[in-house]
């Protein structure tokens, strides 16, 4: 009987994955293809995303992450040019496979594409450094289809301090960063608080006139001391503002055991490099790392670990404030068992069903909560522009 029940739940999950739009706020395909090009309209051997796997998983609207490495701004490089190149790459995907992919700049676009059976490719910019201190660039990237900006990434930048950076020169947002949040509200661009420092988050909440998002963050409750994730107080502030946290699937985001496992591995490799006096990219280091992982395998999170984060947010602030921000193609080989690529959203749905979530609540997680926030941001901008 138990086997039949499992099968029935999986079938129900498969049906739900095809019935409703699944939006994932963070999929790192563009930078992956820049590093090593593959035709993702076909099945690919590497990576977490391609069209066949997206269709199998019911993925309808993966936000293509226009990821800009923090070192580019830090080293005086041209991050604006890179952002344009990555957007060109997304447009090329659509041009080459118009029967499979379509651009999307609004919830209405995604819904129209869904009816046609097309996978929408909306875009978000991970790291605001391409704005380069010039609000004209905000307009430019909005016109090109960017619909959210993660204000900073792994280093503090000209907009905001980063949660990963010990240096906090702005003590939150810079003066320009504060102007940018207001300008994003006015143009209709979602403000993304993933990656920024706690103080910067508080300032965004204070300044923004509309709900904000965390495009790929998880609950700090399970990973104490990991500022990249959101504390309960932050999740409550986000929800009070009407915002949504989109849960990151990466093992080192959702599991303290995975964080500890990875830190032990990094420390062992660093010690080996120091003792042997070899370069970090040497063959000796690669051989040591391989042998270490064979003897002490990385501790992967599980589907249940990820579901615990959804449960925690729902219990804390309600069903209207959580969604999916997997970070596929952005967290390397650290994805949890049961959620290894974009074909596995039905596993997530089945897990939610087993935990008592209704179909209506699951639909909110899959895309309903995103569309609500996005429409609120659009509506505010329309009113502003009409004044």
What is the full DSSP assignment across 128-173? Answer: SGGGTT-HHHHHHHHHTTEEEEES--SS--SSB-BTT-S--TTSSB
Radius of gyration of the chain (CA): 20
CB-based contact 86:130 (threshold 8 Å): no
Give the integer Cα–Cα distance in Å for 340 and 331: 11
The CATH classification number of 2-251+306-386 equals 3.20.20.140
Give the integer Cα–Cα distance in Å for 264 and 257: 11
Give the integer Cα–Cα distance in Å for 132 and 130: 5
Give the integer Cα–Cα distance in Å for 198 and 237: 12
For residue 306, which of 266, 264, 356, 349 has the smallest C-alpha distance? 349
For residue 176, give the 3-state DSSP assignment.
helix
As given in the structure block, the two tokens for residue 281 are 């990219």
Report domain extents, the chain: 2-251+306-386, 256-298
Contacts of 225 (CB under 8 A, 6+ apart): none
As given in the structure block, the two tokens for residue 157 are 């930048």
- Give the pLDDT score at 4: 61
- Give the pLDDT score at 5: 76
For residue 364, give the 3-state DSSP assignment.
helix
Residues of the chain with pLDDT under 70: 1-4
């Amino acid at each position: 009987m138990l086997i039949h029940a499992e099968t029935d739940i999986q079938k129900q999950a498969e049906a739900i994955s095809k019935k409703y739009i699944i939006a994932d706020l963070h999929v790192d395909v563009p930078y992956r293809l820049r590093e090593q090009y593959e035709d993702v309209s076909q099945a690919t051997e590497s990576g977490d995303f391609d069209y066949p796997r997206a269709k199998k998983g019911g993925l309808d609207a993966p936000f293509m992450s226009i990821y800009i490495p923090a070192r580019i701004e830090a080293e005086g490089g041209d991050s604006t040019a890179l952002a344009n190149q990555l957007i060109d790459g997304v447009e090329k995907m659509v041009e080459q496979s118009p029967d499979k992919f379509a651009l999307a700049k609004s919830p209405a676009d995604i819904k129209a594409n869904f009816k046609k059976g097309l996978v929408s490719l909306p875009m978000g910019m991970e790291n605001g450094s391409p704005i380069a201190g010039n609000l004209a660039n905000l307009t430019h990237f909005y016109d090109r289809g960017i619909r959210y900006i993660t204000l900073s990434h792994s280093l503090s930048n000209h907009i905001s301090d980063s949660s990963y950076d010990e240096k906090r020169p702005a003590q939150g947002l810079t003066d320009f960063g504060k102007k940018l949040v207001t300008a994003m509200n006015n143009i209709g661009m979602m403000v993304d608080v993933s990656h920024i420092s706690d103080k910067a988050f508080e300032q965004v909440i204070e300044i923004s006139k509309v709900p904000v998002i965390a495009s790929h963050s998880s609950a700090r409750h399970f990973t104490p001391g990991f500022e990249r994730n959101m504390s309960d107080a932050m999740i409550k502030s986000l929800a009070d503002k009407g915002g949504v946290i989109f849960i990151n699937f990466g093992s080192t985001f959702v599991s303290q055991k995975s964080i500890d496992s990875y830190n032990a591995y990094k420390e062992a490799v660093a010690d080996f490099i120091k003792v042997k006096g070899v370069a970090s990219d040497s063959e000796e280091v690669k051989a040591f790392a391989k042998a270490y992982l064979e003897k002490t395998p990385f501790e992967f999170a599980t589907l249940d670990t990820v579901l615990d984060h959804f449960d925690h947010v729902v219990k804390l602030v309600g069903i209207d404030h959580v969604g999916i921000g997997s970070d596929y193609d952005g967290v390397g080989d650290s994805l949890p068992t049961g959620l290894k690529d974009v074909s596995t959203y039905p596993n997530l749905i089945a897990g939610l069903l087993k935990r008592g979530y209704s179909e209506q609540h699951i639909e909110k997680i899959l895309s309903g909560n995103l569309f609500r926030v996005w429409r609120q941001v659009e509506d505010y901008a329309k009113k502003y522009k009409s004044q």
